[in-house]
A and B are shown apart, each in its own frame.
Chain A
């Protein structure tokens, strides 16, 4: 019998208050090693507070935070962290800054310059090694901040809104980097408002709201859990649908060619799809799947104005 390795992150009954504000309520979650977990929630949901507790920046009032099988405070060197509120020393040179952060993260002197150069080149910033941080564009600064989270080659990487401020090209480049890190076995906890990105990159999601966990599942589990049991049909030519399609308990007509079929709870969607194709000339027939955004809206009750602004 083999024992499974300790998860990258385990929170048990974590609770945190700031005066009258109950920021995190009895939060428990497990992020397995090697996974890419989206940590989602509207503004003020408790995401940043939770991440700060994982980083031992603040202490929980109750509960425990374990990272890589040990108390989080003892694992700081093995965690990379890109906070949402982040900056650089304007007068410091990029290479010096990355070396400094690496040293604080426990890397020894010696190969720090070469290490910084290698990572900068990886993000097309090789020329920036000797530039002062204030001389960089906003996008370049953002990339240097991301590198500061990676420079010590962590086993758990926490990215809080990593795409904010990046143009589409750099969003793609960063997405590729995240995917590459994951392929190398790095566990990634990824907090974002860009739900499309989260859906594309993550294999599991945790959704929190008002400090409580509302969802903690893989994307497949989310799809199953939030299956709308609806088939969209678009006929090639105007016409009526056959009345006795299997498993259908209600039909909504949106035009003379477009219909929405609501399935019984125990119906087999495959049988309904086959019956539609067999009896009608169809332009399109598909089992509807909820996007992560729709799941988010359904659970949270719609984005707040603050979320939209973000």
Chain B
């Protein structure tokens, strides 16, 4: 065992103590994080250009003008903005609140629009008003026919060419709300009271899990838990296990192409060599996983939503990472032993890659129905099972408790089988020279030994 650990240590140090690894695993995420933090800071400090100017309103009924002035009043706008942010926070925490800031009503806080009444000359915004808008004398001109108040007609809005999209949306929505106010008033209803009456009440939803836990499950959280978190977890697992497996492949090819195999095999057995390499590169994978997971946890803590991912889920992520890695690693070691160049390895890797793409393809159906038949069946099919289990464990809703220990035991059995086959290929492959074998030939080595 001491020799196996010596091989593992050499492989780990040789991979980790390089500038390329440091940049790829630590430097890149830090760079991305810096960019994200920087972009967030810039967005936070960015001041939306004020929306200023005169709006000429052609209002043949005279019923919309007052409502429009109220809708575009800065005090009323600030109240609406505060309400949106408060609701979004209740729905999904800081993250949804952050997203809500993108909405025009919540993002634009400097509005100084004076609404003036203007004479119309028929249907639509009159030509003279359009000319004033073009000349920049007016910010915008609008026409609200009576049919807007009585039926389904459209109102017309002409805005200056330099008004940005958020500001246009704001004007559209405020004028639309003004028209609604006018409709309600014509029917003798109090607009504010009516709006309060039809406002759907918020629901505090809780989800009772099989393990007895009761967790928050608002719609925003459900969206994040159902789709985003499982996908992130699976990608993390996939990238970590595959990156470590690839390092194992490269390191085996390097030793073979540098003619080191006979020297090593004069001291240890092929199985010891393979075991040491798998352990060493597995530790490399754990480093990759830890760095990326830590960044994820930091992001969740920063977003004050640590309850999105429990400690148990993180522990299972580590366990299923090991399972995924130990299913990929023997295959990589066997292929690395049989070839002399990365180019040759790529040809043999193609079918393996197709197999490893299956979990990515299964992400959507499994996230939609984490306990459905597709999810349950693929939870027991190596080597995709750890990826599927991570999707399910991280998904909102929980996995039947018995499936976790059963998949763990079955995973260990599958790994033992894969290692046994790979070891037989490895011990033949490492001494082979010349043309790379086919997968069929490697299978023959595994059978014959």
User: Is the Cβ of A58 less than 8 Å from the Cβ of B431?
Assistant: yes
Residue of B nearest to A56 (CB): B269
Report the minimum CB–CB distance from A24 to chain B (whole Å): 15
How long is the Cα–Cα vector from A134 to B10 in the complex, in angstroms?
17
The verdict on B14 contacting chain A, using a C-beta distance below 8 Å, is: yes
Report the minimum CB–CB distance from A36 to chain B (whole Å): 20
User: Is the Cβ of B266 less than 8 Å from the Cβ of A79?
Assistant: yes
User: Is the Cβ of A76 less than 8 Å from the Cβ of B14?
Assistant: no
Report the minimum CB–CB distance from B3 to chain A (whole Å): 5
CB-defined contacts of B266 to chain A, threshold 8 Å: 55, 57, 76, 79, 81, 83
Query: Would A89 and B262 be within 8 Å (CB), given that A57-B431, A104-B6, A104-B267 are in contact?
Result: no
CB-defined contacts of B259 to chain A, threshold 8 Å: 85-87
User: Is the Cβ of B263 less than 8 Å from the Cβ of A148?
Assistant: yes
Judged by DSSP, the binding face of B is helix
CB-defined contacts of B45 to chain A, threshold 8 Å: none
Report the minimum CB–CB distance from A115 to chain B (whole Å): 16
Query: Would A100 and B14 be within 8 Å (CB), given that A83-B262, A85-B259 are in contact?
Result: no
User: Is the Cβ of B10 less than 8 Å from the Cβ of A100?
Assistant: yes
The verdict on A90 contacting chain B, using a C-beta distance below 8 Å, is: yes
User: Is the Cβ of B258 less than 8 Å from the Cβ of A104?
Assistant: no
Output the residue of B6, B254, B255, B269 with the most chain A CB within 10 A.
B6
CB-defined contacts of A88 to chain B, threshold 8 Å: 258, 260
Residue of A nearest to B272 (CB): A104
Report the minimum CB–CB distance from B440 to chain A (whole Å): 16
CB-defined contacts of A85 to chain B, threshold 8 Å: 259, 262
The verdict on B264 contacting chain A, using a C-beta distance below 8 Å, is: yes
User: Is the Cβ of B267 less than 8 Å from the Cβ of A89?
Assistant: no
Judged by DSSP, the binding face of A is loop
Residue of A nearest to B267 (CB): A104
- Please encode chain A, from 79 to 111, with 1 for each CB lying within 8 Å of some chain B CB and 0 for all others: 101010111111110000000110111100000
CB-defined contacts of A83 to chain B, threshold 8 Å: 262-263, 266
The verdict on B446 contacting chain A, using a C-beta distance below 8 Å, is: no
Report the minimum CB–CB distance from B168 to chain A (whole Å): 60
Report the minimum CB–CB distance from B397 to chain A (whole Å): 48
Output the residue of B6, B263, B265, B269 with the most chain A CB within 10 A.
B263
User: Is the Cβ of B263 less than 8 Å from the Cβ of A76?
Assistant: no
How long is the Cα–Cα vector from A145 to B266 in the complex, in angstroms?
13
User: Is the Cβ of B260 less than 8 Å from the Cβ of A57?
Assistant: no
User: Is the Cβ of B260 less than 8 Å from the Cβ of A103?
Assistant: no
CB-defined contacts of A101 to chain B, threshold 8 Å: 263, 267
The verdict on B268 contacting chain A, using a C-beta distance below 8 Å, is: yes
How long is the Cα–Cα vector from A105 to B7 in the complex, in angstroms?
12
Residue of B nearest to A55 (CB): B266
User: Is the Cβ of B260 less than 8 Å from the Cβ of A89?
Assistant: yes
User: Is the Cβ of B263 less than 8 Å from the Cβ of A81?
Assistant: yes
User: Is the Cβ of A86 less than 8 Å from the Cβ of B262?
Assistant: yes
| 6-21 of chain B: CB within 8 A of chain A | 6-7, 10, 14
Interface residues in A, total, Cβ within 8 A: 26
How long is the Cα–Cα vector from A106 to B3 in the complex, in angstroms?
8
Interface residues in B, total, Cβ within 8 A: 20
Report the minimum CB–CB distance from A85 to chain B (whole Å): 5
Query: Would A55 and B265 be within 8 Å (CB), given that A87-B258, A88-B258, A89-B260 are in contact?
Result: yes
CB-defined contacts of A57 to chain B, threshold 8 Å: 262, 265-266, 431
Residue of B nearest to A108 (CB): B2
How long is the Cα–Cα vector from A57 to B426 in the complex, in angstroms?
12
User: Is the Cβ of A92 less than 8 Å from the Cβ of B6?
Assistant: no
Output the residue of A52, A58, A87 with the most chain B CB within 10 A.
A87
| 261-279 of chain B: CB within 8 A of chain A | 262-269
CB-defined contacts of A77 to chain B, threshold 8 Å: 267
CB-defined contacts of A148 to chain B, threshold 8 Å: 263
User: Is the Cβ of B263 less than 8 Å from the Cβ of A86?
Assistant: yes
How long is the Cα–Cα vector from A100 to B69 in the complex, in angstroms?
82
- Please encode chain B, from 232 to 274, with 1 for each CB lying within 8 Å of some chain A CB and 0 for all others: 0000000000000000000000110011101111111100000
Output the residue of B2, B266, B267 with the most chain A CB within 10 A.
B266
Query: Would A103 and B14 be within 8 Å (CB), given that A79-B266, A86-B263 are in contact?
Result: no
How long is the Cα–Cα vector from A57 to B269 in the complex, in angstroms?
7
Residue of A nearest to B5 (CB): A103
How long is the Cα–Cα vector from A88 to B260 in the complex, in angstroms?
6
User: Is the Cβ of B258 less than 8 Å from the Cβ of A92?
Assistant: no
| 286-316 of chain B: CB within 8 A of chain A | none
Report the minimum CB–CB distance from A116 to chain B (whole Å): 15
CB-defined contacts of B264 to chain A, threshold 8 Å: 104
Residue of A nearest to B13 (CB): A96
How long is the Cα–Cα vector from A176 to B268 in the complex, in angstroms?
30
- Please encode chain A, from 56 to 83, with 1 for each CB lying within 8 Å of some chain B CB and 0 for all others: 1110000000000000000011010101
CB-defined contacts of B263 to chain A, threshold 8 Å: 81, 83, 86-87, 101, 145, 148
CB-defined contacts of B6 to chain A, threshold 8 Å: 100, 103-104
Output the residue of B7, B259, B262, B265 with the most chain A CB within 10 A.
B262
| 137-153 of chain A: CB within 8 A of chain B | 145, 148
User: Is the Cβ of B258 less than 8 Å from the Cβ of A105?
Assistant: no
Report the minimum CB–CB distance from B206 to chain A (whole Å): 56
How long is the Cα–Cα vector from A103 to B269 in the complex, in angstroms?
14
Report the minimum CB–CB distance from B430 to chain A (whole Å): 9
How long is the Cα–Cα vector from A187 to B49 in the complex, in angstroms?
89
Residue positions of A touching B, CB distance < 8 A? 52, 55-58, 76-77, 79, 81, 83, 85-92, 100-101, 103-106, 145, 148
The 8 closest A-B pairs by CB, nearest first: A87-B259, A104-B267, A83-B262, A81-B266, A87-B258, A57-B265, A103-B6, A55-B266
What are 21 A-B pairs at a CB distance below 8 A? A52-B262, A52-B431, A55-B262, A57-B265, A57-B266, A57-B431, A76-B267, A76-B268, A83-B262, A86-B260, A87-B259, A87-B260, A87-B263, A89-B254, A89-B260, A91-B14, A100-B6, A100-B10, A103-B6, A104-B264, A148-B263
A-B contact sample (19 more), CB < 8 A, given A86-B260, A104-B268:
A52-B262, A56-B269, A57-B265, A57-B431, A58-B431, A76-B266, A76-B268, A77-B267, A81-B262, A81-B263, A85-B259, A87-B258, A89-B260, A90-B258, A101-B263, A101-B267, A103-B6, A104-B267, A148-B263
